[in-house]
Amino acid sequence: SQTIHQWPATLVQPVGSPLSLECTVEGTSNPNLYWYRQAAGRGLQLLFYSVGIGQISSEVPQNLSASRPQDRQFILSSKKLLLSDSGFYLCAWDGRINSPLHFGNGTRLTVT
Amino acid sequence: AQTVTQSQPEMSVQEAETVTLSCTYDTSESDYYLFWYKQPPSRQMILVIRQEAYKQQNATENRFSVNFQKAAKSFSLKISDSQLGDAAMYFCAYRRSLNYGGATNKLIFGTGTLLAVQP
């Protein structure tokens, strides 16, 4: 069966520090991969998605970037964190057409 | 652009009772998918139910069912025989049909309804 791993679960970082959140999927090949952010009291907002290695699409302008160095690995990064980057970040995957979206357990990021 | 609105920030229900969560959406497309996701305190996002717009029959999954009113652009979730484990944040989400192009699950979420279940 397919599983998605996301780490770390929680992270506290000072303003201006770098960020790297990692997500991996097991049990499937060539998935679509997604990064969503959930701000306090708000719904989820799609940040990036990827349909293949090295293929990244950004949905909103921001301080973050994403990369997909391997088929089942998706990384969310920042060179210098802002206070506004605080939130709950969720990685997700799907197995192509008409399959549902499966989420990881999320990372709670606090920028101080 | 498509939007999803959940007008009930919080709801409460007694254990074993029935509760309905509201969701409305705005779209100019005729073919799309609607979802309800549950987010318990663990923050894991769990798919509760899915509705395809071209299907007139309302989706059901055990104690969970939807009332899909396409003309009114309404998609409410009914939870029957509420259990303590149903306490969570519930999100309504929209996804355009892949017939419009693209191959990705770009969901548009509402702001959520926090459901409390009273024993």
CA distance readout (Å), B95 to A37, A39, A40, B16, B109: 17, 20, 23, 32, 9
Nearest chain A Cα distance for residue B14, angstroms? 24
Residues of B in Cβ contact (< 8 Å) with A66: none
From B114, which residue of chain A is nearest by alpha-carbon distance? A41
What CA–CA distance (Å, rounded) separates A64 from A89?
Answer: 12
Around Cβ A5, how many Cβ atoms within 10 Å?
13
Structure-block tokens of residue B49: 């139910």
Pick the closest to residue A50 from A33, A70, A72, A38 (CA basis).
Answer: A33
Q: For residues B44-48, give the mean pLDDT.
A: 92
- Structure confidence by residue, pLDDT tens digits, A34-70: 999 998 767 888 999 998 899 999 888 778 999 999 9
Compute φ and ψ for B85, nearest 5 degrees: -70, -10
Select from B23, B34, B90, B105 the residue whose CB has the most chain A CBs within 10 Å, as the one to mutate to test that interface: B105
If you compute the radius of gyration of chain B from its CA atoms, what whole number of angstroms results?
14
- Structure confidence by residue, pLDDT tens digits, B48-107: 999 999 888 999 999 999 999 999 999 999 999 999 999 999 999 998 876 655 556 788
B109 has a chain A CB within 8 A of its CB: yes
Pick the closest to residue A5 from A52, A75, A66 (CA basis).
Answer: A75
- Structure confidence by residue, pLDDT tens digits, B2-40: 899 999 999 999 999 999 999 999 999 888 999 999 999
> Which residues 22-61 of B have a C-beta within 8 angstroms of A?
35, 42-47, 50
| pLDDT band for position A107 (cuts 50, 70, 90) | very high
pLDDT of B87 reads: 97
Q: Do A41 and B111 touch (CB under 8 A)?
A: yes
pLDDT of B99 reads: 61
Residues of A in Cβ contact (< 8 Å) with B100: none
For CA atoms A107, B98, A55, A3, give the dihedral sign.
Answer: positive
Compute φ and ψ for B96, nearest 5 degrees: -70, 155
Kindly report the average pLDDT of chain A as a whole number. 91
